[in-house]
Structure 1
Amino acid sequence: MSAPTRPVTIPTLRLSIGGELLDSPEGLDVLDPATAAVVTRVPVATPELLDRAVAAARRAAPGWAAMPLPERQQRVRAFAELVEEHRSELAALLTLEQGKPVGRAYGEIGSGLAYVNAFTRMTLADEVLKDDDGELIRLRRVPVGVVAAITAWNYPQMLSLWKIGPALVAGNPVIVKPSPYTPVSTLRVGELAQQVLPPGVLQVLAGGDELGARLTTHEGVDKISFTGSRRAGRAVMAAAAPTMKRLTLELGGNDPGIVLPDADPGAIAADLYAGGMSNCGQVCAGLKRLFVPTARAGEFAEALATVAGTVVVGNGFDAGVDMGPVQNRPQLERVQGLLADAQRRGAEVYFRGRAPDGPGNWHPVVLVRGAGDDVPLVAEEQFGPVLPLLTYDTLDEAVARANRGPDGLGASVWSDDEEAAEAVATRLDAGTVWINQHPMLSPDAPFGGRKQSGIGVESSMLGLHAYTDVSVLRVKHSVPR
């Protein structure tokens, strides 16, 4: 397979509706975050086109649900194989719209496909709860119905594939709505899907917040799977309430990492840095608050700065680039504002890397210390290449501060003593707590948040079950056995 390269031309993309590729009278410009230039214009789903897509999904639902599970899984595997065949093309489109280095875009698609393929190996067997002389009670997992998958701009391919895989395997048609900042590669996936899946089973619609709002209120949609901000998640939850839609919400986090006194700064600095700064710091479960012992703060600051000093920021298509731009201008301005505010409040920038000049959404790697817990850079999810270093005197204090706030997606503990680390980890309020890593996700482990970081989980059997409803069959035996 050829290595991803910068696209010479961008394909003319269409909405995938009912097995057809359709244009629209309305359009949306997509910008390259590395240049701020318009790279293409994609069609936007009007209310009429949305209704058409929902109607197509509802027509497809009975046949897709009735298809035997092994056959459905074979169809989903064929979809994954087709995406894999076009992986280099999709990676180039992903870098163009999202900004990440093209090698990492290629890896993102591979990671998403690993999840899809994992679901094609899972089963949804009935569970017998009781079977005696009087009665048989059997629990069945049935498709929930039409699923709207609304994804974010930081990992457009991985997040959509995370949702497509289990939804389709469970027997549901899916309508994917990517972020208006990053619709290109997902629209292309929608086009590919029409070659191997029945009409209406997988559709992709582009549009802005208004399209998302229509999806969450549409009476023909039965479930919303949403990845995004806490503010947007609240709006989704409220909009879904009148029709009692099922929900899976992954709403980000302000993940703490606690380094225990025995940890070696030189040994873990690279992993700490990667936990906080991968994907330009735009990771929902990234390390966003790093707590280190006060007595060793200088050692950790020096070790992190050494790692950060090796990082090359630039265009994702250029050789040797480790980190691309912030994906969009509003997010860049938010990160810049949080950093400036923290400095006004007395925080010290102890490392500032280099970033290109020019019109792109460039922000250097920045390491900060001396910020209080109430400073917004620390108290809120910054979602950019800025990592605050915080100090603590006792572990009880560190745990209390780490648990402060409404977020509870992930957390981590770092130590050579795994038993001591686990004792701290069990006290942290998070959906996933890692030891000596952050973050690490896999298809066999559920992923979701506590507190206001979300509702429900993705991946694993629990993630597959999230796309089903429970139906209980109770049979009274006419003749006692």
Structure 2
Amino acid sequence: MAPHAEDGVNGSSGASSLDFTTFSNIIDGKLSSTSQTRHGINPATDKPNPEVPVSTPEDVDRAVEAAKKAAKSWANTSYADRRKAVLAFADGLEKEKDAFAQFLTKEQGKPLHWAYFELDFALSAIRTMAGLELPTDVVADEEGRKIIVRYTPLGTVVGIVPWNYPILLCVTKIAPAVVTGNPIIIKPSPFTPYGGLKLVELAQRYFPAGVVQGLSGDDNLGPWLTSHPGPAKISFTGSSATGKKVMASASKTLKRVTLELGGNDPAIILEDVNIKEVAAKVATLAFLNSGQICLALKRIFVHEKIFDEFRDAMVEHTKTLKLGEAHEEGVFLGPIQNSMQYERVKGFFGEIEKEKLNVAVGGKNPDGPGYFITPTIIDRPKEDSRLVVEEPFGPIVPLLSFSTDEEAITKANNTNYGLGASVWSSNLDRATKIAEQLEAGNIWINTHFELDIRAPYGGHKESGIGIEFGIGGLKSYCNSQTVYLKK
């Protein structure tokens, strides 16, 4: 699904039936409070958002026990009835779309039209996943025997959701887990807990108690959930460094894991492109969501024959991308979501003077409230520099050059990451030959970040383990069971 800024902006769903002033855990179908609370920050204003619970180990135990209690009856519910419940959940969310989008800007910071885009993508994702058919595979049907493969629920799932797309990445864990017969406990990011808690609260209208639960907390909550002996699977989206910790913790009880981790996506721009058109698209895809997308373009390799012209066209378009608060007219980039990430991204700016980097555009950040970072392009930094090797997860990108297709492939693959990559050319045969040699789980030609929920999505190398979306994504929430039937 391609990002389009106008998607959903005019959609109106009326007043919300959910209260977006108070936020609770949801355990066994009931709203649950805690003695200790905390709050997130509106990253555009530095002002505090409402208080949310800080869960305890006892809350985790209660949620796991409730999920265990719900698991058998939910697994025995027909696939058709589980699908109906998921689709009803999507319809319920659509009615609440305005309220979710408005609050998403307060907790995540993204411009309002991108908040609507996230809600629309989330709705499409739920409905698409509910529409997929989990098969029973017939391996053999011979004279004397039949062999079939069934896919049965794993049990309790924990969904750990990041802060960059907190609504979308929450529902893409809820929908496949519950449609395949598993209860799920959602742990939203401490930076963006609000939308996830309200999604789970909304889900209580459509699922039995214990099937969809939500726990808010601090940095202790994730390890309590991943090490708890009750859950059967952890679905985690976040950084590679944290993903390794999740995997280590889950390994103690041999939990299944799906890890969707970081990326350092390259774009290879061949010399035969329409320079102005492609430069505008590449700049948009690099700075979308203020660069806070695992699949954002983060290393841009341009053929040396067109390098200067392409750089100038990309700079020209970048200057049109407005930075500002969510409700400002025409704004494209919002703030960095949290102070920790803001300081990390500013660290890359701190190296501009130290490394004597050549700034093509940007380089200076605005004063005042909010975690705002000006979109910045660095012209040909050293290819072993931190900006090239690491994933900034912010609106600063290196522009690099190459002279041959083989050199471009080598440079693009020179990373520990392997989430996405794209090749841009008017010669599809040449572009395809290059694309087939790139080490990434998702490859695009003449576009980037177009996702289709029907297709598997995952990373190579340190960008993750397992896949989401598609039939393979559904199967990842199941045990495979081979049945040998002697006739």
Same fold per TM (> 0.5)? Answer: yes
Mapped contact 1:14–1:43 kept (Cα < 8 A): yes
In the alignment, which residue of structure 2 is the partner of 1:332? 342
Q: Which residue, out of 184, 190, 202, partners 1:174?
A: 184
In the alignment, which residue of structure 2 is the partner of 1:74? 84
Q: Which residue, out of 384, 401, 406, partners 1:396?
A: 406
In the alignment, which residue of structure 2 is the partner of 1:357? 367
Q: Which residue, out of 36, 58, 75, partners 2:68?
A: 58
In the alignment, which residue of structure 2 is the partner of 1:311? 321
Q: Are 1:231 and 2:231 matched, yes or no?
A: no
| Deviation at residue 2 of structure 1 after TM alignment | 3.0
SS in 2 for 1:474: strand
Q: Are 1:187 and 2:191 matched, yes or no?
A: no
Mapped contact 2:349–2:363 kept (Cα < 8 A): no
Q: What CA distance in whole angstroms lies between the structure 2 residues aligned with 1:119 and 1:277?
A: 28
State the one-letter code of the partner of 1:210: N
Q: What CA distance in whole angstroms lies between the structure 2 residues aligned with 1:460 and 1:453?
A: 19
TM-score by length of 1: 0.96
Mapped contact 1:342–1:376 kept (Cα < 8 A): no
Q: What CA distance in whole angstroms lies between the structure 2 residues aligned with 1:367 and 1:216?
A: 39
Q: What CA distance in whole angstroms lies between the structure 1 residues aligned with 2:78 and 2:135?
A: 12
Mapped contact 1:371–1:388 kept (Cα < 8 A): yes
In the alignment, which residue of structure 2 is the partner of 1:144? 154
Q: What CA distance in whole angstroms lies between the structure 1 residues aligned with 2:152 and 2:218?
A: 32
In the alignment, which residue of structure 1 is the partner of 2:357? 347
Mapped contact 1:14–1:187 kept (Cα < 8 A): yes
Q: Are 1:409 and 2:419 matched, yes or no?
A: yes
In the alignment, which residue of structure 1 is the partner of 2:59? 49
State the one-letter code of the partner of 2:326: G
Mapped contact 1:177–1:205 kept (Cα < 8 A): yes
Q: What CA distance in whole angstroms lies between the structure 2 residues aligned with 1:167 and 1:257?
A: 33
In the alignment, which residue of structure 2 is the partner of 1:91? 101
Which shows bigger deviation, 241-250 or 341-350? 341-350
| Deviation at residue 317 of structure 1 after TM alignment | 2.0
In the alignment, which residue of structure 1 is the partner of 2:393? 383
- Kindly provide the CA deviation profile for residues 287-315 of structure 1, in whole angstroms up to 9, marking residues without a partner as x: 10000012322111110111111111111
Mapped contact 1:247–1:456 kept (Cα < 8 A): yes
Mapped contact 1:346–1:370 kept (Cα < 8 A): no
Q: Which residue, out of 450, 473, 476, partners 1:463?
A: 473
SS in 2 for 1:42: strand
Mapped contact 2:440–2:460 kept (Cα < 8 A): yes
State the one-letter code of the partner of 2:297: L
Q: What CA distance in whole angstroms lies between the structure 2 residues aligned with 1:241 and 1:10?
A: 37
In the alignment, which residue of structure 2 is the partner of 1:260? 270
| Deviation at residue 356 of structure 1 after TM alignment | 5.0
Q: Which residue, out of 184, 204, 214, partners 2:214?
A: 204
TM-score by length of 2: 0.95
CA RMSD of aligned residues (A): 1.6
Q: Are 1:274 and 2:284 matched, yes or no?
A: yes
Structure 1 residue runs without a partner (length 5+) = none
Mapped contact 1:35–1:358 kept (Cα < 8 A): no
| Deviation at residue 359 of structure 1 after TM alignment | 2.0
In the alignment, which residue of structure 1 is the partner of 2:376? 366
Q: What CA distance in whole angstroms lies between the structure 1 residues aligned with 2:257 and 2:81?
A: 27
Mapped contact 1:342–1:371 kept (Cα < 8 A): no
Paired positions, count: 475
Q: What CA distance in whole angstroms lies between the structure 2 residues aligned with 1:194 and 1:174?
A: 12
In the alignment, which residue of structure 2 is the partner of 1:125? 135
In the alignment, which residue of structure 1 is the partner of 2:5? none
State the one-letter code of the partner of 1:298: D
Mapped contact 1:314–1:356 kept (Cα < 8 A): no
Which shows bigger deviation, 350-359 or 79-88? 350-359
Q: Which residue, out of 154, 159, 162, partners 2:164?
A: 154
State the one-letter code of the partner of 1:303: A
Q: 1:4 to 1:202 in 2, by over 3 A?
A: same
SS in 1 for 2:155: coil
- Kindly provide the CA deviation profile for residues 78-113 of structure 1, in whole angstroms up to 9, marking residues without a partner as x: 111111110110111111000001111111011012
Q: Which residue, out of 37, 48, 53, partners 1:27?
A: 37
In the alignment, which residue of structure 2 is the partner of 1:425? 435
Matched ranges for 1:444-459 at <5 A = 444-459=454-469
Structure 2 residue runs without a partner (length 5+) = 1-10
Q: What CA distance in whole angstroms lies between the structure 1 residues aligned with 2:406 and 2:268?
A: 11
Q: Are 1:246 and 2:248 matched, yes or no?
A: no
- Kindly provide the CA deviation profile for residues 6-54 of structure 1, in whole angstroms up to 9, marking residues without a partner as x: xxx9411111110001111121211000011112110122111111111
| Deviation at residue 320 of structure 1 after TM alignment | 2.0
- Kindly provide the CA deviation profile for residues 343-391 of structure 1, in whole angstroms up to 9, marking residues without a partner as x: 4223211111886531210111111112111101110101101111001
In the alignment, which residue of structure 1 is the partner of 2:116? 106
Mapped contact 2:129–2:454 kept (Cα < 8 A): no
In the alignment, which residue of structure 2 is the partner of 1:295? 305
Q: 1:407 to 1:151 in 2, by over 3 A?
A: same
Q: What CA distance in whole angstroms lies between the structure 2 residues aligned with 1:44 and 1:102?
A: 28
Mapped contact 1:339–1:377 kept (Cα < 8 A): no
In the alignment, which residue of structure 1 is the partner of 2:4? none
| Deviation at residue 342 of structure 1 after TM alignment | 4.4
- Kindly provide the CA deviation profile for residues 116-162 of structure 1, in whole angstroms up to 9, marking residues without a partner as x: 10121111231222232332221100011111000111000111111
State the one-letter code of the partner of 1:79: F
Q: What CA distance in whole angstroms lies between the structure 2 residues aligned with 1:355 and 1:344?
A: 17
Mapped contact 1:4–1:91 kept (Cα < 8 A): no
SS in 2 for 1:262: coil
Q: What CA distance in whole angstroms lies between the structure 2 residues aligned with 1:312 and 1:357?
A: 16
Identical-residue share of aligned pairs (%): 42
SS in 2 for 1:243: coil
In the alignment, which residue of structure 1 is the partner of 2:174? 164
Q: What CA distance in whole angstroms lies between the structure 1 residues aligned with 2:255 and 2:126?
A: 24
| Deviation at residue 475 of structure 1 after TM alignment | 2.2
Q: 1:342 to 1:429 in 2, by over 3 A?
A: farther
Mapped contact 1:29–1:38 kept (Cα < 8 A): yes
Q: What CA distance in whole angstroms lies between the structure 2 residues aligned with 1:457 and 1:343?
A: 41
